[in-house]
Amino acid sequence: MTLKAEPHHAVMDLVSTTASALMDTILDCCTTLGSNNAYVAGCLVLVLNPDHARLLAAGGYDKDRLRREVHERARISGEQVAIRGIVGITAKVGADGFHYITRSPADVEIVVAGGEGGHSGVILPWALHSEAVYEPVRLPGGRIAESLEQFLMRR
């Protein structure tokens, strides 16, 4: 996946002991005023460290539930976005009074990466209407790499 994006926003939470508490931290990091998604809904990448991924899984989250919940709960009040933003662009605010930062659960990409500890991240797109591009990594001869080791060895 390639995405024109801002540097990651740190999701630092070494204290939460429940999936619910960790989700609150993640959602707050997804809804940064001043980011592109604060004004124009689009995709995002949630990069979870193994500890955070385990805590969420223990709380009943799989990738589909996580995508749905981020989409449904990562929102900013219309009052906040009405007085900020991008010249010529008005954030879409729903009947419930909120601007949702993603268009659908499919806009939420999830990756588990990194080491142990309480540091995960959210990657928000850079510039308006930035979309992720998916292209398989191919080995010489055209075969798709099935592992990082295959790619590094180029076999």
| Digit-coded pLDDT (tens) for 47-102 | 999 999 999 999 999 999 999 999 999 999 999 999 998 888 889 999 999 999 99
Q: Is the pLDDT of residue 128 over 80?
A: no
Q: Report pLDDT for 108.
A: 97
Provide the token pair at 46: 């949630």
**How many residues can be counted in the chain?**
155
Give the C-alpha separation, 32 to 37, whole Å. Answer: 8
Q: Which residues pair with 48 in a beta bridge?
A: 112
Q: Is the pLDDT of residue 154 over 70?
A: no
Give the C-alpha separation, 38 to 91, whole Å. Answer: 8
Q: Is the pLDDT of residue 126 over 90?
A: no
Q: Report pLDDT for 20.
A: 98
Instruction: Could you list the beta-strand ranges (E) of the chain.
Output: 9-12, 44-48, 75-77, 98-100, 108-112, 119-123
The CA angle 102-59-8, to the nearest 5 degrees, is 40
Higher pLDDT, 33 or 136: 33
- What are the two backbone dihedrals, phi and then psi, of residue 118, each rounded to the nearest 5 degrees? -100, 25
Higher pLDDT, 14 or 135: 14
Higher pLDDT, 141 or 10: 10
